[in-house]
Amino acid sequence: MSKTFKHKDFELTIYVEDTDFQGFVYHANYIKYFERARSDFLTKNSISQEELKKSNLVFVIKRIQIDYLNPAKLGENLLVQTKVDKKSKVRMLFHQSIKSIDTDIQICEGIVEVCLIDIETKTPKPFPNDLLLIFDSGEVNE
């Protein structure tokens, strides 16, 4: 049942607000950058998190594994690369990495396990048909 798709790369620039006093990106911000790329994947594929929430459904992170390899610095341009792996109708893995556009150095990489749950019951629910069809059809929008 597992199918993997590469999503369009997501670019960003490092600003002062992203960094610590040394000018390096604060470690938690890499998780935010991963989140932006995942949200971009959903948006580009017409999956509205706002509409899902009206039905009491939200995406949640079950697990994050991240390896920090090199620090990103103030002013650097980064590329978040994302591959999405559908493991089942209720579980997706996002294989994500960040590299510097300026130096081509790998900054970090991680795996984020995502599920959809009912807000009230806190139980897993199948992903929306629109999302499942992306994997079944093999057509991912970028």
Predicted pLDDT of residue 37? 95
Q: Enter the DSSP assignment of 127.
A: P
Catalytic residues: 20
Tens of pLDDT, residue by residue over 91-140, are 999 999 999 999 999 999 999 999 999 999 999 999 888 887 776 665 45
Predicted pLDDT of residue 1? 46
User: What is the architecture of the domain spanning 3-137?
Assistant: Roll (3.10)
List 36's β-bridge partners, or say none: none
d(CA 106, CA 79): 10
Tens of pLDDT, residue by residue over 35-68, are 999 999 889 888 899 999 999 999 999 999 999 9
Domains of the chain: which residue ranges?
3-137
Predicted pLDDT of residue 2? 55
pLDDT band at 87 (very low <50, low <70, confident <90, very high): confident
Three-class SS state of 54:
helix
d(CA 112, CA 96): 8
CA geometry: angle at 115 spanning 85 and 57, to 5°? 130
Q: Enter the DSSP assignment of 119.
A: T
